[in-house]
Amino acid sequence: MKHFLTLADLTAAEMHHILNLAVRIKQEWQAGNAPTYLKDKVLGMIFQKPSLRTRVSFDVAMLQLGGNGLYLSPNEIQLGKRESVADVARVLSRYVNVLMARVFAHEDIVELAKYAGVPVINGLSDYVHPCQGMADFLTILEHKGTFQGKKLTYVGDGNNVATSLLFGATLLGMDFTIAAPQGYGLHPAVWDMGRRLAAASGARIVVTYDPLEAFVDADVIYTDTWTSMGQEAETELRRKVFPPYQVNEDKLRYAKEDVIVMHCLPAHRGEEITDAVADGPHSVLFDQAENRLHAQKAILVWCMEAD
């Protein structure tokens, strides 16, 4: 059974395979001759948190692949409250061919995968956001042509999105720099994994508290919300801590001339990113959003492929 829970579970060869698949599926879609790789298959989509991109892109992906997406809202399933995670996994596996879940605790997606009789895809947990990561590396590949020797800088909160970027970059051999305020960096266990992957790929990792240092010579600047879903009680505190890490035109001057700016969205314009940058010439925010569709088709096809 092939689950897609975190990029760190993949080998570099698998990561490249899924990216190549995404490139091909996107080309077929653009040419108007997309094969229905998942004809009559059903994807169950469990959501514990709100979503625009994940919900719609998975739904449309299944439709365009010849199958169906089934949206299950937080109130319907009440994962772990109305029914245990293990029982939800066992029941849904009798109805659907593949499952996607957006959860709070990463342990819940691991538990789903443990008891499901079908592949499970992580549509975001508090730990990682691997579908976003796959779409992001597809976007980087399209704009930069290669990962080797390119500098990806993440500025802001060391959250689920940052963790997936670290895992993806170090798998692919891309240099990764993160600038986060003290106390908001990546978890030590995440670093251990990142360093292990980097040792195999040759990627360089830089950690700093200084956002300007991180911007220097960057090929890609990436940021995300200062307050992730589930951390709402900390919003005011975080609004005081994070402003020096805002992605704005002043800081962008330190990056390479052809730098691309990325954000997984939803954006809090005027907080982690300014309108001028989000809507400016370096922004690829909506390419990223579109690539969720193509990357997730590749993930779905990969999960359903025989080994």
Known catalytic residues are 102, 129, 132, 224, 264, 292
Q: What is the DSSP string of 59-108?
A: HHHHHHTTSEEEEE-HHHH-BTTTB-HHHHHHHHTTT-SEEEEE-SSHHH
Q: Among ligand CP, ligand NVA, none, what binds residue 52 when CB lies within 5 to 8 Å by partner kind?
A: ligand CP
Measured from the Cβ of residue 133, the count of other Cβ atoms closer than 10 Å reads: 26
> Is residue 105 near ligand NVA by the rule CB under 6 A?
no
Candidates 46, 264, 293, 295; binder of ligand NVA (CB under 6 A) is 264
Closer CB to ligand NVA, residue 57 or residue 97? Answer: 57
Element of type H or E holding 215: helix 211-215
Q: Does position 122 bind ligand NVA by CB under 6 A?
A: no
Give, as ranges, the residues between 153 and 192 that touch ligand NVA (CB under 6 A). Answer: 159-161
Q: Is the dihedral of CA 199, 128, 10, 288 positive or negative?
A: negative
C-alpha pair distances (Å), 159 with each of 37, 128, 230:
33, 8, 12
Residues binding ligand NVA: what is the number (CB under 6 A)? 10
Among 62, 124, 165, 172, binds ligand CP (CB under 6 A): 124
Residues 54-73 that bind ligand CP (CB under 6 A): 54
Near ligand NVA by CB under 6 A: residue from 86, 91, 205, 229:
229
The CB-of-54 to ligand CP minimum distance in angstroms stands at 3
Cβ–Cβ under 8 Å, residues 245 and 181: yes
Long-range contacts of 303-306 (CB under 8 A, 24+ apart): 303/2, 303/3, 303/4, 303/98, 303/119, 303/121, 304/37, 304/38, 304/41, 304/97, 304/98, 304/119, 305/2
> What's the N-to-C CA distance of the chain in angstroms?
9
CB nearer to ligand NVA: pick between 108 and 224: 224
Q: Is 19 in the site for ligand NVA (CB under 6 A)?
A: no
Contact partner at residue 125 from ligand NVA, ligand CP, none, CB < 5 to 8 Å by partner kind:
none
Neighbours of 31 (CB within 10 A): 8
Q: Does 125 bind ligand NVA (CB under 6 A)?
A: no
Closest distance of CB 201 from ligand CP, Å? 25
Does residue 175 contact residue 15 with C-beta atoms inside 8 Å? no
Point out which span in 31-39, 74-82, 143-151, 264-272 binds ligand CP (CB under 6 A).
264-272
Q: Which stretch binds ligand NVA (CB under 6 A): 83-91, 174-182, 200-208, 224-232?
A: 224-232
Which residues of this protein are in contact with ligand NVA, per CB under 6 A? Answer: 124, 129, 159-161, 224-225, 228-229, 264
Which positions touch ligand CP (CB under 6 A)? 51-54, 124, 132, 264-266
